[in-house]
Structure 1
Amino acid sequence: MKNYTDYLNLIDTTIDKYIDSIWELNLYMASHPELGEQELEASKRMHDFLQGSGYKTTLPYCDIPTSFCAEKGDTGPSVALLAEYDALPEIGHACGHCLHGSMSLLAGLALSPVLDHVPGKVFVIGTPAEETNGAKVTLAKEGVFDSIDLAMMIHCNDVTSYVDYRSLAMDAIEFTFDGQTAHAAGAPWEGRNALNGVQLFFHAIDMLRQHVKPSVRMHGIVSHGGDAPNIVPDKASAKFYFRAPERKYLNVVLEKIFNCAKGAALATETTVHWRNVEFSFDEMRPNKAAEKMLGEIFTECGVATINSPGPGGSSDMGNVSQHCAALQPLLAITDVSTPHHTRSFAKAVTTPQAKQALKTGAEILAKGTLRFILNTTLQEEIKKEFNSYR
C-alpha cells in the first residue's frame, strides 16, 4: 500500500478534470431551485455523474424518491459523503445546498480512481429536504449509517470557516386549540375562543423563558387564527420550533411546554392537541479526533479556521452523528458578511469565489477521506471516541 501523499496528485488531477462540469451543475441548480422532496432533476444529475465514474448507484434510495446512493470499494474502512440539494421557498439556494452538495459530488468523483488502489469503501449519498423533513433522519432510522465509520459533508458559510460545528436538537410542533363559534358582537358569551387559547399559550411560553437554560430557543407563529372578525374562532393553531443543545434536556423542556398548552386550554375553556409537523433533529455529537484530522486538512488546503461560535441552528446531520462519527465543517465562500437564508447568500453561491470554494471543499473532503482510509490508528481513535458516548 502506498502512503497518503502518493495519491494527492491523482485527487487534484481528477478534481481539475471535473471542476467545470460540476460548477455548471451548481449554476443549473442555483437557477432552477427545487424544494425539499421535489429535487428530481438535481438528484438525477448528481446520480448520473457518479454512475458514469465507476460507482454502483441506486436511485431512488430507501424509498425516498429524490435520494440516491453511490458506492465504490469492497473492503476496508467506510466513509459516507453526504450531498444536499434542496432550496428554500421564494429565495432559492439561500443556504448554499447547491454548492456544498456539489462539493460532496466532486469529492466522490475525485476518489473514484483512488479506490482502484486503496482498500476502502466510499458512499456518496443524496440527502434531500434538509430544510424541512430532513432525509438524513429517515436514512439514520433505516440503519444506513450504522455500518459507516465516518460521515462527512461541508456546509457553506459567508466569511469564516470552522471544523467543530455544533447544532441544537429540535422539535417542530403545531398546537391546535378547539373552542366554540358564536356571533362575536351579538352573543360572544356563547363562544369559546380558540384564538384566546393560542394567545395565552404564547404568553405562557414567554413566561417560561426565564425558567429554562439560556441556550434553549423557542419561537413560533400563529398558523391559523380564525376565519372572520365577527365569528368567535372555534379553531386556532400555532406552530413552534423548540431547540436545546441536547435532546435529553429538550425532552424536559417539552414537558413544561405541554403543561403550558394544557393550562392555556383550561383557562380559556378550550381543548388542545399537538403534533410534530416535521422530523425531529438531534444535536450534533462531537468527535474531537475526527475534527483534529480534518482541521489539519483545512490547513493543508490553505484554509484558515476559527473555533466554532457554538450551536446556532439545527440540522439532520445531528441524527447521523448519533449513529456514526460525523463531521459538518463550515467553509467560507465570500469575503463579505452575508447571512444564510437571504437573497444575497443565494447570489454568493454563483460567484467566481464560490467556484474556488467548490474546488477547495472537494479537496478537503477527498483528502480527509483518503487520510482516514489509510490511517488505522486514526480510525481506532475516532471509533473509540464515538463509542464513548454510548
Structure 2
Amino acid sequence: MQLLGAAGVTGAVMTAEADPAMAASADVTPAGYTAPEGLAQDSPAKDAALGWIASNADRITGLNAEIWENAELSLREWKSSLAEAEFLEKAGFDVTFGTAGFPTAFTATYTYGTGGPALGFSGEYDALPGLSQNKGVGHHDPREYVHDPFAPSYGPGHGCGHSALGTAAAAAAAAVAQAAKKHKLPVTVKFFGSTAEETLIGKTYAVSKGVYAGLDAFLDWHPSTANATGWGSTTAMTAVTFTFLGVAGHGGTPLGNKSALDAAVMMATMSEFLREENLAPSGRLHWVINNGGDIPNVTPEIAEISYYVREGSPARVQVLLDKVIAVSEAAAKASQTTVRHRITSACWNQLPSKSFAELLHENMRQIGPPEFGEDAHRLAKELQESLGLPQKGMHDAIGDLTAPNPVFLGGGSTDVADISWNVPTVSMGAALAPIGTKLHTWSTAACAAAAPGQAAVVAAAKYLAATAVDLLTQPARLKAVKDEFAERTKGVSWKTALPDGYEPPMYEPPQWFLEKTGQKWPPRNITWPPRKVVSQEKFSSLGPDLAPQK
C-alpha cells in the first residue's frame, strides 16, 4: 500500500471505501496458485470453429496485410474499417457504420436462434504516426519517408499491430458464427469495429452511450511479445491537451511579444518536478509538444502540449491531473499567456476476470503457440540484433497462468477497460513482436504483416474462437464468469470518466466513404464546424518610456 502512495490506508475495507475501483480489481489469490484443468473441452462446435479458421487462413492473413498496407491513423481509418466490415459481411454479419457517431466505427451482428448468449469481440485497426517501416525488414527502413529539409519525418505504421488485432477478432467472430449455425447453438455474435484505440477515444465514449449494453461476455486480445493471459489490471488514464495563447511578433524584435512556446516549455519542465514527490510507482506522466511554432523568427502565438496522465484508478488519476493543471496555470502566469485545456479521452482501469482468464489460458495451452517458421525467427533475430538485444527469436510457448503482482506498479492503458466494468471481459496477448522488443516501435511494424504477425493472427483467432465456443457449449463456464463479475462489481457504480458535455474529436470523412457506408455528416453528437482557436492576447507592456539620456 505504501508503494501505491496510499499512506495510512491499511485495511481492505478502508481501501474499498476510499477507492472502490482499485478494490474491485485487486487480487486475493493465495500463494501457490496452480491453474485449474478441465475447463476447456473438445466439442464438434469447437472443431468446426477452428477448422473454419484453418481453411480460411489465406483470407485472414490477407486482411491483415491489407490493413497493414493502409496504415491509417486514429479516427481516419477509411479503407481499413471498410475492409474489416466487408470480411464480416461475407461471413453473414449485418453491418452498421457510425457507431456512437464515429464514422469509422461499426457494429457487425450475427444471430442464430433465440435465447442464446450475446458474445462480443473487440476489433481495432488504427496505426501510429511516425512508425512507418517496410514489411519483413530487420533494420530501420521507413516505408514512407517524408522529405522536409527542416523537419524530416516518417509516415504512419502499425507499430502496435492493430492490423492483426482487428483481423484476428473478426476471424474469431466469423468462426463462432459458422460453428453456431452448423451445430445449432443459439447465439448473438457482435463484433465492434472500434476507431481510435491509440488515443483511447473510440470505446470510452461508445460505452458511455450504451453501445455494449446487453452482452453476456466480451473477448479481447492484443499483439504482444509473449503468448499469455491473466487477470491483472491496467492503469486508468486521462488524456489532456493544453493550449497556450500569446502574441506573435518578429523574433529579432521580441520585446513585448508573448511566446506560447515558452509557456509550453515551462509547463513541461515544471511537470517533470512532480515525479519525485507526487508520482507513485503506479503512476505514469508523459507528454509531447504538438505545436510549438514553425520558424524561429516568428514568436509562436499558439502552442499545444498534450499529456497522458495514468494511475491505478480514476480517482488517483484525478488527483495527479489536478496537479498537472495547476502547473499549466503557473506556466501561463509566468509567461503572461493564457491557457485552456480540453480532455480528449479518459478511461478506467480494467476490471479483471480470473475465471475467464483460466478458461482462455487452457484453450491457449491446448491449441499451442503460434506456428512460427524459420522466416519468423530469422526476422526476429535480425530485429533484435539491430536493436542491441539478445537474439532469442519469437516466443514460441504458452506462458504460465500466474496470479498478478499483489502490488500494482502501473503500466499501459486500454479503452477496453471501460467495457470490462459493464460486461465480463477477458484479454490475452499473442506474440507478434520479438522477445525483448516493445510495441509502439518500427520493429513491431516490420513484423505485423510479415511472418511473425501472420502466424500470430491465426493463433489469436483460434484462442478467441475456442474460448467463445466453450461459453456456448458449457453454460457453467459462462455462469462462473458472470458470477465473478457480479461479485467484483458489488458496491461499484461505473460512471464514465469523460467530463460532462464531452464531444469526441472527429475528422470529416471523404465523400466517397460517406456514400459507401450510408452515413451523413456531421453526426448529431458533435458541433460542426468546431470552434476556432484564435489568440486575442495583447502585447506585453514594458512600462513607461524611458527618458532620453542627456
Fold shared, TM-score > 0.5 on shorter chain:
yes
Q: Which runs of 5+ in 1 are unaligned?
A: none
The 1-side partners of 2:311 and 2:252 are apart by: 43
Q: Secondary structure at the match of 1:280?
A: strand
> Larger Cα Rg: Structure 1 or Structure 2?
2
- Is residue 129 of structure 1 aligned with residue 196 of structure 2? yes
Instruction: Give the deviation of 1:103 after TM superposition.
Output: 0.9
- Is residue 366 of structure 1 aligned with residue 465 of structure 2? yes
Matches within 5 A, 1:341-356: 341-356=440-455
230-239 vs 147-156, which moves further: 230-239
Partner of 1:18: 56
Partner of 2:160: 95
Instruction: Give the deviation of 1:184 after TM superposition.
Output: 6.0
Partner of 1:173: 240
Q: Secondary structure at the match of 2:345?
A: coil
Partner of 1:378: 477
The 1-side partners of 2:234 and 2:419 are apart by: 12
The 2-side partners of 1:384 and 1:357 are apart by: 32
Q: Aligned to 1:113, which of 171, 178, 186? A: 178
The 2-side partners of 1:13 and 1:160 are apart by: 21
User: Is contact 1:216–1:245 with CA below 8 Å preserved after alignment?
Assistant: yes
User: Is contact 1:165–1:330 with CA below 8 Å preserved after alignment?
Assistant: no
Residue type at the aligned position of 1:253: L
User: Is contact 1:164–1:329 with CA below 8 Å preserved after alignment?
Assistant: no
User: Is contact 2:95–2:109 with CA below 8 Å preserved after alignment?
Assistant: yes
Partner of 1:70: 108
Select the structure that is richer in helix.
1
User: Is contact 2:46–2:470 with CA below 8 Å preserved after alignment?
Assistant: no
The 1-side partners of 2:95 and 2:193 are apart by: 11
User: Is contact 1:4–1:374 with CA below 8 Å preserved after alignment?
Assistant: no
State the aligned residue count: 386
Q: Secondary structure at the match of 1:108?
A: helix
Q: Secondary structure at the match of 1:54?
A: coil
Q: 1:177-232 deviations in whole A, cap 9, x for unaligned?
A: 334556666572x4444444333322321222222312211111233345665565
Q: Aligned to 1:333, which of 429, 432, 448? A: 432
Partner of 2:358: 292
The 2-side partners of 1:30 and 1:233 are apart by: 37
Residue type at the aligned position of 1:80: G
- Is residue 305 of structure 1 aligned with residue 399 of structure 2? yes
The 1-side partners of 2:479 and 2:459 are apart by: 27
The 1-side partners of 2:178 and 2:296 are apart by: 67
- Is residue 143 of structure 1 aligned with residue 242 of structure 2? no
Q: Which runs of 5+ in 2 are unaligned?
A: 1-40, 133-156, 370-397, 493-550
The 2-side partners of 1:81 and 1:238 are apart by: 34
Partner of 2:272: 206
Residue type at the aligned position of 1:365: L
Q: 1:19-49 deviations in whole A, cap 9, x for unaligned?
A: 1111111122222322222323222232223
Q: Secondary structure at the match of 2:238?
A: strand
- Is residue 80 of structure 1 aligned with residue 145 of structure 2? no
User: Is contact 1:67–1:128 with CA below 8 Å preserved after alignment?
Assistant: yes
Change (3 A) 1:174 1:39: closer
Change (3 A) 1:7 1:239: same
Q: Secondary structure at the match of 1:383?
A: helix
Partner of 1:247: 314
Instruction: Give the deviation of 1:311 after TM superposition.
Output: 4.5
Instruction: Give the deviation of 1:123 after TM superposition.
Output: 0.9
Partner of 1:46: 84
Partner of 1:154: 221
User: Is contact 2:281–2:410 with CA below 8 Å preserved after alignment?
Assistant: no
User: Is contact 1:180–1:233 with CA below 8 Å preserved after alignment?
Assistant: yes
Residue type at the aligned position of 1:375: Q
The 1-side partners of 2:332 and 2:225 are apart by: 44
Q: Secondary structure at the match of 2:303?
A: strand
Q: Aligned to 1:220, which of 275, 280, 287? A: 287
Residue type at the aligned position of 1:12: L
Instruction: Give the deviation of 1:269 after TM superposition.
Output: 3.5
Residue type at the aligned position of 2:475: T
Change (3 A) 1:59 1:223: closer
Change (3 A) 1:58 1:249: same
Residue type at the aligned position of 1:108: A
Q: Secondary structure at the match of 1:299?
A: helix
The 1-side partners of 2:46 and 2:296 are apart by: 68
- Across the aligned residues of Structure 1 and Structure 2, the Cα RMSD in angstroms comes to 2.6
User: Is contact 1:175–1:238 with CA below 8 Å preserved after alignment?
Assistant: yes
Q: Secondary structure at the match of 2:463?
A: helix
TM-score (norm 1): 0.89
User: Is contact 1:165–1:327 with CA below 8 Å preserved after alignment?
Assistant: no
Residue type at the aligned position of 2:212: F
